């Protein structure tokens, strides 16, 4: 058994009449183990969850990083590298859909529970791994967020090499999009905003998170979404739990979405209930109706319970721990569908 594979028992939840069983997932996704006459929740740590099916490879990588002796921050960073480096992913990192001027502008953030620290970057160009620059902001500066040219200059000063993020395929698509829009007022493409948000829990019950995206396809230059905004695209509260968002950032950031999910957990909601309640609260306040909000949340609490919910059918999320990895269906609050596979929608 690898050293990092630490199982921790989150306390007895009472007696059961079901007889002996091992690792039966309950509705929230955590394992139950029969020990004598008591049923106990068992968490295999480290545990990671992430948005979308593409998050599975990132979660699996994060587990490996810890198993090889890396820290949880290394795991979040290097897990997210996998998705950022995937050129076939049109919504995160290289190969991401550019802005209306044909430039790929990336947003990312990272947050650590034990010291409640955070770093983020917005509108960052020419950097393959914005999550790493977010980490550098957190660790090497007195600030939380750097954007645009300043963020890029900081990255270069830290030794990051510039990378052209606009692939030939995305350039061709952007040129076709530009032609269609006419010179006056190009419409922005509302269909492309599938972020990776990733949350992790270690064997000591500490929480971590990260987020990375190229944002809304063909967005206005300079547009920053929810993903690098602490409390919107990501929030980690080491006393309670962590949450992350994907979908239309404008509908998350006007409501401090991830902070709201964590606060729901603080009030006693399970992670799935917290995501549902946050979506419901946003839908109550927001002038857009539920089916048009296009927002989704994932959540993980300090006990290793995780869940997700979104406005529409079809949002999936991923999990991995040393024992297993899988893609799970999130709870949907409307009948509207977001498409068969979610991420990388064209």
Residues interacting with ligand GLY, by CB under 6 A? 193, 195, 213, 215-216, 225-227, 246-249
Tell me whether residue 72 or residue 80 sits nearer to ligand GLY (CB atom).
80
Q: Is 308 helix (H, G, I), strand (E, B) or coil?
A: strand
From 39, 83, 195, 311, the catalytic residue = 195
Q: Are the beta carbons of 81 and 61 closer than 8 angstroms?
A: yes
Exposed, middle or buried, 297 (CB in 10 Å: 0-12/13-18/19+)?
A: buried
Considering all CA atoms of the chain, what is the largest pairwise distance in Å, rounded to the nearest integer? 72
Q: What is the DSSP letter of 17?
A: S
Q: Are 75 and 66 in contact (CB under 8 A)?
A: yes
Question: Cβ closer to ligand GLY: 39 or 227?
Answer: 227
DSSP assignment of 257-279 equals: HHHHHHHHHHTT--HHHHHHHHH
Indicate the residue among 212 and 272 with the shorter CB distance to ligand GLY: 212
Strands 145-147 and 106-112: unpaired
What is the DSSP-derived secondary structure letter of residue 187?
Answer: P
13 is catalytic: no
- In the DSSP assignment, the letter for residue 58 is H
What minimum distance in Å lies between the beta carbon of 251 and ligand GLY? Answer: 9
Q: Which is nearer to ligand GLY, 152 or 193 (CB)?
A: 193
Taking the complex as a whole, the smallest distance from the CB of residue 249 to ligand GLY amounts, in Å, to: 3
Residue 110 Cβ vs ligand GLY, minimum distance, rounded to whole Å: 16
Catalytic residues: 195
């Amino acid at each position: 058994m690898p050293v990092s594979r630490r199982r921790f028992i989150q306390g007895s939840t009472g007696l059961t009449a079901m007889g002996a069983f091992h690792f039966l997932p309950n509705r929230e996704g955590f394992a139950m183990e029969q020990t004598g006459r008591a049923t106990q929740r068992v968490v295999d740590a480290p545990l990671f969850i992430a948005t979308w099916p593409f998050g599975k490879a990132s979660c699996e990588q994060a587990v490996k990083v810890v198993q090889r002796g890396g820290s949880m921050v290394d795991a979040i960073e290097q897990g997210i590298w996998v998705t950022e480096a995937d050129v076939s992913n049109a919504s995160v990192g290289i190969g991401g859909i550019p802005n209306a001027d044909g430039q790929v502008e990336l947003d990312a953030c990272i947050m650590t529970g034990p010291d409640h620290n955070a770093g983020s970057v917005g509108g960052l160009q020419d950097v393959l791994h914005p999550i790493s620059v977010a980490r550098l902001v957190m660790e090497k500066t007195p600030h939380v967020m750097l954007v645009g040219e300043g963020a890029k200059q900081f990255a270069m000063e830290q030794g990051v090499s510039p990378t052209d993020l606009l692939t030939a395929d995305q350039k061709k698509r952007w040129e076709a999009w530009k032609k269609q829009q006419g010179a006056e007022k190009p419409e922005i493409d509302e269909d492309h905003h599938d972020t990776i948000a990733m949350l992790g829990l270690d064997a000591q019950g500490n929480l971590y998170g990260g987020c990375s995206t190229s944002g809304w396809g063909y967005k206005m230059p300079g547009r920053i979404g929810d993903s690098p905004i602490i409390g919107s695209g990501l929030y980690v509260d080491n006393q309670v739990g962590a949450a992350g968002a994907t979908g239309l950032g404008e509908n998350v950031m006007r409501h401090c979405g991830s902070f709201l999910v964590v606060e729901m957990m603080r009030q006693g909601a399970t992670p799935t209930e917290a995501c549902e309640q946050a979506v419901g609260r946003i839908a109550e306040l927001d002038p857009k109706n539920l089916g048009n909000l296009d927002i989704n949340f994932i959540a993980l609490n300090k006990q290793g319970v995780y869940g997700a919910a979104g406005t529409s059918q079809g949002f999936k999320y991923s999990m991995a721990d040393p024992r297993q990895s899988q893609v799970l269906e999130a709870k949907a609050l409307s009948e509207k569908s977001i498409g068969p596979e979610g991420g990388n929608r064209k």
